[in-house]
Amino acid sequence: MDIAVDHVLKEFSRYPALDDVSLQIKSGELIALLGPSGSGKTTLLRLIAGLERPTAGRIFFGDEDASSKSVQERNVGFVFQAYALFRNMTVLENVSFGLKVRPRATRPPNAEIRKRALELLDLVQLSGLHQRYPQQLSGGQRQRVALARALAIEPRVLLLDEPFGALDAQVRKELRKWLREIHDRTGHTTVFVTHDQEEALELADRLVVMSRGKIEQVGSPDTVYDDPNSPFVFGFIGESSSLPVEIENGELWVGGRAIGLSAGDTPKGNAQLYFRPHDVELVPEGAALAGVAASTRRVGGTRRVELEIGGLSHRVEIDLPFDHPTGEKSRIAFKPKRWKLFPTG
């Protein structure tokens, strides 16, 4: 099912939670809405679901204008962070619920409902647990039941709002790999909200990065990570360091000296240099960035070094091999291997 969000405005007490947002979602895609708190990602998800109505603009399911249709009319499956399972029902009854409450004309026979619910429990790797109650399951198992219940109604669109937010890190990693496998097997058009960059980069076909009610960038995980189109996206997706620079004669200058990097097509003037801490190389001091190590700490298999750049009261972070003999007050020269410039003048 294709979804089109067409110039949508959503206001709460005249405050624009979404401001002229447009988005095309292809049938069978897994899309991540990613952004900080207050960016509008959950509001957009609720508008697609039919839990909210747009103040202006329209939402299409295929060629059909669904803007004024209810959740039931849109036939969406919804998975919340808090599971929202019925505590007094067994796992099987929870999964069967959406089918059992259908109008009589569209309700399958009880035997067919039971068969489908058991098949879905097998799909989500919970076979044999159908007689248990939610409180007898782990958090990860409860979220699998919630997903099975959402899939039971054969939704046109599957929507997930921070589905793993209440789980610990290891369970999250296991479940997101599992969710990707489920998506590939079922082929549902899926939209999920997350603030976890690693989760979005690993799971999604495309990322929709949001800030202050607007979409900042849409693209594949590789495109958004490797070619961010704004300082916000570069700073929000992955880890980054930034440094104020001057552009003169097609080169970058810091503290009154050239640092050996080309400015490309960026015009003369002030700019901000962005790069990833892991994406640097050490070089002999000269036409390069140089600084004094203010602190070091271990980050996984690398050593994260905070450098105070000479000539500036500014610090950046770079990653070095863990066994690199760097101590505080050591002087280090380096160059980013990949970087982006954003004019500030």
pTM over 0.95: no
Write out pLDDT tens, residues 164-206: 776 777 878 888 888 888 889 889 999 999 988 888 999 999 9
Amino acid identity of residue 286, one-letter, is G
| Predicted pLDDT of residue 123 | 87
User: If we measure between CA atoms, which residue out of 4, 344, 43, 27 comes closest to residue 213?
Assistant: 43
Q: How far is residue 317's CA from residue 207's CA, in Å, rounded to a whole number? A: 26
69: confidence class by pLDDT, cuts 50, 70, 90: very high
pLDDT tens by residue, 143-169: 889 888 988 888 889 999 988 776 777
Residue 57's alpha-carbon distances to 7, 41, 62, 125, 217, in angstroms, are 5, 17, 16, 41, 20
**Residue 214 pLDDT more than 70?**
yes
* DSSP symbol at 82: T
pLDDT in the model for residue 345: 67
Structure tokens at 287: 């036409």
Report CA dihedral (203, 204, 207, 209) to the nearest 10 degrees: -40
pLDDT band at 256 (very low <50, low <70, confident <90, very high): confident
83: pLDDT strictly greater than 70: no
258-291: pLDDT as tens digits:
999 999 888 899 999 999 999 999 998 888 898 9
For residue 155 the two structure tokens come to 């939704």
pLDDT of residue 313 exceeding 90? no
